Amino acid sequence: MLWEQAIKIFVFGFLGVFVALAILVITISILGSVVKIFK
Amino acid sequence: MAEFIGTMIWKTGFMSLEVKHLIMWLIGFLFIFLAVKKDYEPLLLLPIGFAVFIVNLPLTALMEEGGLLQIFYHYGLEWEIIPPLIFLGLGAMTDFGPLIANPKTLLLGAAAQFGVYVAFFGALVIGFLFPTIGFGIPEACSIGIIGGADGPTTIYTTVKLAPQLLGATAVAAYSYMSLVPIIQPPIMKLLTTEHERKIHMRQLRPVSQIEKILFPVTATLIICLIVPPAAPLMAMFMIGNLFRESGVVKRLSNAAQNELMNIVTIFLGISVGATMSADKFLRLDALLVFALGLVAFIFSTAGGLLLAKLMNLFLKDKINPLIGSAGVSAVPMAARVSQKLGAQADPKNFLLMHAMGPNIAGVIGTVVAAGFFISMAGGG
């Protein structure tokens, strides 16, 4: 039970950090392109 | 009369002094020495050191119910006010320009959370092998987050998940942050070649004000929707940054950067030091927290570096792997270390601004990791 929860925290937590920041990377890139077009 | 004098003498602190108090005084004086003489995180180690000293004066009851330091601790940390206010000030001090100009460096900030999870498992293994130490999932999360090298986030997570470890985790986080220039370089040299350290990076593009204004709003929206427990820290970080970048509330931005930050830092230092009474600190678990914190720091540094090397296999414009190690928050010291090692390999190599991207990304990454810990370990 303990190790099951620990593995869940590791997998979802570490992947979650990557996913959250990857979404931010994509969003910043899109925003940059949109701002460039409107300039 | 003699009986009265005898009673009065027994009511003084002298008669209740024990060796453990003297040891804690020495620890407090050590922090003061490191702050004054060595300039190690003086803004925090000085108030922490003095608070350690006074909280270990017998019979003063400063941390008893209704005691002065207990009130600071209760309203400042237990009510979760101080860490978000520190983030407000940090946001007002932060320039996200390098991050916006080269957004892929955000991933280095994510990779540098590797040590957080290594220490998390390390704490769980210790807790499993030695159950009397009492390291379960909440404690392991609080210890692991030290690897993010972010003091306020460490404090925020520990107060929510394992408040009994607050003194040890907070002091470990701030101590290792101040030791970044000593801990990181050997790992950075070990994991990179001379050729890699000499890689020059393309100059960053200029970032417009509109992008800088849109960033805090967008980042808050995305991070707080993905990890709601991270909202108090993330939202305050970004509102502070919006004050700065909007350019229309200079007074608020200045207040957040200076007066508010200074006041909150005083109460943060005192409140953290106040948790370090002899009974709570002179224990095996506190020593283990320090050891695991160091492990976390080492693996976080390695995580950022190794991802940068991996990214280089696919990128046309190569990244200098040294900037990966800056993914362990510790702003701006970790970025300075990257700059220093890059310049040692090639004096014409300027990595500071490039390293600021992953450095700030590390702050966001640690907040996200803390948010996941809190939501999955039952603190949120």
Q: What gap in Å lies between CA A12 and CA B171, rounded to an integer? A: 28
Tokens of B148: 């993010």
Q: Evaluate if residue B226 carries a pLDDT over 70.
A: yes
DSSP code of residue B92 = H
| Residue numbers in A near B137 (CB within 8 A) | 2, 5-6, 9
Pairs of CB atoms within 8 A across A/B? 99
Check B128 against A2: CB less than 8 A apart: yes
Which pLDDT does position B228 carry in this prediction?
96
Q: Evaluate if residue B378 carries a pLDDT over 80.
A: no
Name the pTM for this structure. Answer: 0.92
Which pLDDT does position B39 carry in this prediction?
87
Nearest chain A CA: its distance from B373 CA (Å)? 7
Residues 6+ away with beta carbon under 8 Å from B82: B76, B152, B155, B264, B267, B268, B271
Q: One-letter amino acid identity for B288?
A: L
Per-residue confidence band for B27, with pLDDT thresholds at 50, 70 and 90: very high
Residue B137: closest C-alpha in chain A: A6
| Residue numbers in A near B124 (CB within 8 A) | 2-3, 6
Q: Evaluate if residue B379 carries a pLDDT over 60.
A: no
Which pLDDT does position B2 carry in this prediction?
82
Which pLDDT does position B31 carry in this prediction?
92
Per-residue confidence band for B17, with pLDDT thresholds at 50, 70 and 90: very high
Check B222 against A6: CB less than 8 A apart: no
Exposure class string for B246-272: b at 16+ Cβ within 10 A, else e: eeeeeebbebbbeebbeebbebbbbbb
Residue A15: closest C-alpha in chain B: B110
Q: What gap in Å lies between CA B319 and CA B104, rounded to an integer? A: 10
For chain A, the residues whose C-beta falls within 8 A of a C-beta of chain B are 2-3, 5-6, 8-10, 12-14, 16-25, 27-29, 31-32, 35, 39
Instruction: Give the mean pLDDT of B241-270.
Output: 97
Residues 6+ away with beta carbon under 8 Å from B89: B240, B256, B257, B260, B261, B264
Q: What is the mean pLDDT of chain B?
A: 94
ipTM: 0.95
DSSP code of residue B74 = I
Q: What gap in Å lies between CA B224 and CA B218, rounded to an integer? A: 10
Q: Which of B293, B272, B261 is nearest to B180 (CA)?
A: B293
Which pLDDT does position A1 carry in this prediction?
78
Nearest chain B CA: its distance from A14 CA (Å)? 7
Q: Evaluate if residue B9 carries a pLDDT over 90.
A: no
B172 within a domain of the structure (yes/no): yes
Residue B347, helix vs strand vs coil: coil
Q: What gap in Å lies between CA B313 and CA B308, rounded to an integer? A: 9
Q: Which of A9, A23, A35 sits opposite B376 (nearest CB)?
A: A9
Give alpha helix (H) positions in B313-351. Answer: 333-345
Q: What gap in Å lies between CA B101 and CA B375, rounded to an integer? A: 32
B249 within a domain of the structure (yes/no): yes
Instruction: Give the mean pLDDT of B242-252.
Output: 97
- Tally Cβ neighbours within 10 Å of residue B132: 7
B262 within a domain of the structure (yes/no): yes
Q: Which domain holds residue B124?
A: 77-377
Which pLDDT does position B268 carry in this prediction?
93
Check A32 against B106: CB less than 8 A apart: no
Which pLDDT does position B297 carry in this prediction?
92
B12 within a domain of the structure (yes/no): no
B247 within a domain of the structure (yes/no): yes
Of the two residues B69 and B5, the one the predictor is more confident about is B69
Instruction: Give the mean pLDDT of B102-124.
Output: 96
Instruction: Give the mean pLDDT of B16-26.
Output: 95
Which pLDDT does position B100 carry in this prediction?
96
Looking at the structure of chain B, the number of domains it has is 1
Which pLDDT does position B1 carry in this prediction?
79
B296 within a domain of the structure (yes/no): yes
Check B117 against A13: CB less than 8 A apart: yes
B45 within a domain of the structure (yes/no): no
pLDDT in tens, B78-111: 898 999 999 999 999 999 999 999 999 999 999 9
Query: From the candidates B117, B237, B310, which should be mutated to test the interface with A, based on the most A CB atoms within 10 A?
Result: B117
CB B197 within 8 A of CB B346: yes
Residues 6+ away with beta carbon under 8 Å from B232: B80, B83, B84, B156
Instruction: Provide the sign of the torsion angle of the four alpha carbons B220, B224, B227, B228, taken in this order.
Output: positive
Percent of chain B at pLDDT > 70 equals 99
Q: What gap in Å lies between CA B251 and CA B243, rounded to an integer? A: 9
Residue in this structure with the two tokens 């040890």, named with its chain if needed: B168
B1 within a domain of the structure (yes/no): no
Q: Evaluate if residue B335 carries a pLDDT over 90.
A: yes
Give alpha helix (H) positions in A1-39. Answer: 2-38
Q: What gap in Å lies between CA A29 and CA B186, rounded to an integer? A: 34
Q: Evaluate if residue B380 carries a pLDDT over 80.
A: no
